[in-house]
Amino acid sequence: MTISIWRYSHLTLAVSTSIFILLAALTGVVLAFEPISNQLKPYAVKDAQSLTLDKTIAVLKAEYDEVIQIEIDKNDFVQADVITKAGDSETFYVNPFTGKKIGAIIEKAPIFKFATNLHRSLFLKSTGRAIIGVVSFLLFLMTVSGVFLIAKRQGGFKAFFSKIIKEDFNPYYHSILGRYTLIPIVIVTVTGVYLSLEKFSLLPTDSHRHEVVVMPSAKALQNNTDGFNVFKSITLSDVAHVEFPFSEDEEDYFILKLHDRELFVNQNNGTVVSEKKTGFVALASGWSLFLHTGEGSVIWSLVLLLTALSILFFMYSGFAMTLNRRKKRVKIENKFNKDTAEYIILVGSETGSTFGFAKSLYNALMAQGKSVFVSELNQYTTYKKAKHLVVFTATYGDGEAPTNATNFERLVGEIPQQNTLQYSVVGFGSLAYQGYCKYALIVDALLQMHYNFVPNIKLHKIHNQSVEAFNYWVSAWSKSKNLTLDVEAPLKPKGTKSKPLFKVVNKTEMNTDASFLVELEPARKSKFTSGDLLSITPENESVERLYSIGKTDKNIILSIKKHEFGICSNYLNTLKLNDMITAEIKQNKGFHAPTSAKEVVMIANGTGIAPFLGMVNNENRKPSKNYLFWGGRTKESYKLYSKLIDKAFNSRNLSGIYLSFSKEESQKKYVQNSLVEKEDLIARVLKNNGIIMICGSIAMMNGVLEVLENISYSKLGKALNMSQIKTDCY
């Protein structure tokens, strides 16, 4: 199978640099903590940034015998190198307002020293630095190829930021995180390369020179530095470093390294003798260092930390995806060649799973003694003896051809066949995408228009590699060919998570309201309770349908109303005993039976009774008094549930049941009417902090809430307390 150039580059770069990137990312995680821990030290003095330099110089001169230099680091800590009054030479952090010492210089912790060395040079000095520089560049290239892969996956650059459809955990989060960390990774890699180039002196040299501003005057105009205008106009936020004059010689200047320029200042009169602007290269070096290390900024250090962690995740998920793709790749060893086979199977596949289906068909046909040849759509060529063509193709991007099918359209136009072939196209896709099986439609149209091909059976689409849908196509196709094929389901790659299976252990007949009960037994041990939801997505459908679960023993009870055009209810109605279905249990904590209330009122209409059937038959529930109000059409409707209700009564789990029938001649009442009749009971439950649970239609819920509100006002003199109400209505 051809893999795209972008994926190939991305993977090759990842494999070839993996060990270095792993080391760089791991040490990057550690190093991100260094600026954070430094920033948390208490040496930054409030408002120091707006203090003017003349003030700091003055206090330092008064406090110490001699000041050699001051430096303001990335953390805004002011460092002074002084000779103390006791004659000692010392360097420490000072308070720039008072000149007093506030702490000793931070020693780099051994862990940070170790991580820095490993990160910068792998302990290999210049060789290591060069390797890291190159790896940084390769990581940048990997980011670029990653951008192209995301664009391809999304169906173009325009859709780069549109919603990513979740198929599996690794590809999904690889792409999602890739989009979030794209800019930080570009910054980290580009600055990494820049810093390496700087170390090897490969950057252009700074062309700026010191320019004389005022010639030094021989006459001392003023010998009072704190009065110098130039120092008054500079705040500490501008300063990186100040070197004090070494002697009283007029040729010895104050050397001020500011962020954007360097100044020489006459020590006697304060005139700026010469000035040098900071060049672009030096500015870029400063920015590169900051952006690469995060020094001085907790927020940027956190961004760098997350970026390094993401790189580790990319490595894990990228390799997991590659392994998974390899597992999916199916090898087919053709026993016949393209010119001797009667049956040709052409496959369009991006991640390999479609080959599994092709292999199943290949094996089944070979077992029948047929001559078969399997190949990729991009390998389309002439087939001398072929009479039947089957195309199995996935769709990728957003309705585009998978990578091994991109040339098919051209090839099919260029290459004529000797025979006329009967063809059938099967599309493998996902309903989650707008262009569901779109490429299969294109292939089908191309073959339809081609004079060498006649349709056999119409295009068949398969959602999410459904084996059932595949079997359905096999039986239709083999019937059209007068074949009896025994097709084995393609093996799912190891590690593919399949949805849980449930066995149908009971199913009632449909009653007069087209309602029925289904009892399902989970194939695997499952944790769920009444009130949770069961999500069912019928084959070939993308939209899930949620049903409220009633739990009896270890099984699930569903109450279903069959709607004329309801896909899911019709599907469930076709189930027979011992059929297996796939479904997912979804927790619905908001509708679990209360654990502490002494009295519970359960109100339902129609199939909304399902969770209550489970709750009132749960032997393990803490004893509470349960009252069930149910509304249906006729007495006949109720028969569906009567057995389970009687059981609950007999085991004393149900204290009262109040039925209302809307279509019964003798009654004609709704569940709301029963509530009004039992308003004393309702008021008592509300008053005693009981819980009222409602399940069924929204219309019923609205009517019921109105009645409850009225009862609360009239009987308790207050508004209904909604924290006592739980609903699950649709």
End-to-end CA distance of the chain: 48
Among 380, 428, 661, 670, binds ligand FMN (CB under 6 A): 428
Residue 398 as a binder of ligand FMN (CB under 6 A): the answer is: yes
- Of 613, 672, 611, 675, nearest in space to 638 by CA: 613
Q: Phi and psi of 388, rounded to 5°?
A: -130, 135
Among 153, 359, 481, 545, binds ligand FMN (CB under 6 A): 153
Contact at 8 Å (CB) between 557 and 549? yes
Binding span for ligand FMN by CB under 6 A among 277-285, 396-404, 407-415, 557-565? 396-404
Q: In this complex, which beta carbon is closest to ligand FMN, that of residue 157 or of residue 730?
A: 157
Distance CA(300)–CA(650), nearest Å, equals 67
Residue 170 as a binder of ligand FMN (CB under 6 A): the answer is: no
Q: In this complex, which beta carbon is closest to ligand FMN, that of residue 161 or of residue 246?
A: 161
Residue 160 as a binder of ligand FMN (CB under 6 A): the answer is: no
Distance CA(73)–CA(103), nearest Å, equals 14
Residue 349 as a binder of ligand FMN (CB under 6 A): the answer is: yes
Give residue for tokens 């590809």.
171
Residue 515 as a binder of ligand FMN (CB under 6 A): the answer is: no
Binding span for ligand FMN by CB under 6 A among 352-360, 524-532, 612-620, 718-726? 352-360
Among 436, 552, 566, 677, binds ligand FMN (CB under 6 A): 436
Among 264, 396, 502, 638, binds ligand FMN (CB under 6 A): 396
Q: In this complex, which beta carbon is closest to ligand FMN, that of residue 153 or of residue 507?
A: 153
C-beta nearest to ligand FMN: residue:
429
Among 429, 531, 631, 696, binds ligand FMN (CB under 6 A): 429
Contact at 8 Å (CB) between 312 and 356? no
Q: In this complex, which beta carbon is closest to ligand FMN, that of residue 96 or of residue 402?
A: 402
Q: Where in 9-38 is the site for ligand FMN (CB under 6 A)?
A: none
Write down the least CB distance from residue 404 to ligand FMN, Å: 9
Residue 437 as a binder of ligand FMN (CB under 6 A): the answer is: yes
Report CA 260 to chain centroid distance, whole Å.
42
Residue 350 as a binder of ligand FMN (CB under 6 A): the answer is: yes
Distance CA(548)–CA(602), nearest Å, equals 14
Binding span for ligand FMN by CB under 6 A among 189-197, 388-396, 584-592, 715-723? 388-396
Give residue for tokens 């560049």.
137
Contact at 8 Å (CB) between 314 and 189? no
Write down the least CB distance from residue 428 to ligand FMN, Å: 4
Per this entry, what is the length of the chain?
Answer: 730
What are the counts of helices (DSSP H) followed by strands (DSSP E) for the chain? 18, 28
Distance CA(139)–CA(151), nearest Å, equals 18
Write down the least CB distance from residue 378 to ligand FMN, Å: 14
Write down the least CB distance from residue 143 to ligand FMN, Å: 19
- Of 284, 281, 283, 305, nearest in space to 294 by CA: 305
Binding span for ligand FMN by CB under 6 A among 94-102, 135-143, 210-218, 433-441? 433-441
Distance CA(701)–CA(730), nearest Å, equals 9
Contact at 8 Å (CB) between 171 and 321? yes
Residue 351 as a binder of ligand FMN (CB under 6 A): the answer is: yes
Torsion of the alpha carbons at 500, 504, 508 and 514, rounded to the nearest 10? 40
Among 96, 352, 550, 631, binds ligand FMN (CB under 6 A): 352
Residue 167 as a binder of ligand FMN (CB under 6 A): the answer is: yes
Residue 409 as a binder of ligand FMN (CB under 6 A): the answer is: no
Contact at 8 Å (CB) between 569 and 560? yes
Binding span for ligand FMN by CB under 6 A among 302-310, 335-343, 431-439, 656-664? 431-439
Within 10 angstroms of residue 650's Cβ, the number of other Cβ atoms is 9
Binding span for ligand FMN by CB under 6 A among 304-312, 350-358, 600-608, 716-724? 350-358
The encoded tokens of residue 307 equal 């970026």
Residue 490 as a binder of ligand FMN (CB under 6 A): the answer is: no
Binding span for ligand FMN by CB under 6 A among 218-226, 426-434, 485-493, 573-581? 426-434
Binding span for ligand FMN by CB under 6 A among 279-287, 374-382, 390-398, 496-504? 390-398
Distance CA(505)–CA(501), nearest Å, equals 13
Q: Which helix (H) or strand (E) covers residue 506, if one does?
A: strand 501-507
Q: In this complex, which beta carbon is closest to ligand FMN, that of residue 296 or of residue 348?
A: 348
- Of 418, 477, 409, nearest in space to 451 by CA: 418
Among 27, 191, 269, 354, binds ligand FMN (CB under 6 A): 354
Strands 656-661 and 421-429: unpaired
Residue 353 as a binder of ligand FMN (CB under 6 A): the answer is: yes
- Of 155, 148, 147, 150, nearest in space to 438 by CA: 155
Residue 181 as a binder of ligand FMN (CB under 6 A): the answer is: no
Among 95, 363, 430, 466, binds ligand FMN (CB under 6 A): 430
Contact at 8 Å (CB) between 582 and 512? no
Write down the least CB distance from residue 712 to ligand FMN, Å: 53
- Of 563, 559, 533, 557, nearest in space to 546 by CA: 533
Q: In this complex, which beta carbon is closest to ligand FMN, that of residue 1 or of residue 134?
A: 1
Give residue for tokens 């089957």.
390
Q: In this complex, which beta carbon is closest to ligand FMN, that of residue 394 or of residue 685?
A: 394
Helices (H), 520-666: 567-573, 610-615, 635-650
HSE, side-chain direction, 13 A CA sphere, residue 32 = 18
Number of residues that bind ligand FMN (CB under 6 A): 24
Among 395, 417, 424, 624, binds ligand FMN (CB under 6 A): 395
Exposure string for 362-390, b = 16+ CB within 10 A, e = fewer: bbbbeeeebbbbbbbbbbbeebebbebbb
DSSP secondary structure string for all residues of 89-106: EEEEEE-TTT--EEEEPP
Residue 588 as a binder of ligand FMN (CB under 6 A): the answer is: no
Three-state DSSP state, 168: coil
Residue 423 as a binder of ligand FMN (CB under 6 A): the answer is: no
Among 148, 172, 313, 433, binds ligand FMN (CB under 6 A): 433
Write down the least CB distance from residue 400 to ligand FMN, Å: 7
Q: Where in 284-303 is the site for ligand FMN (CB under 6 A)?
A: none
Binding span for ligand FMN by CB under 6 A among 67-75, 104-112, 346-354, 575-583? 346-354
Enumerate binding residues for ligand FMN (CB under 6 A): 153, 167, 349-354, 394-399, 402, 428-430, 433, 435-438, 465
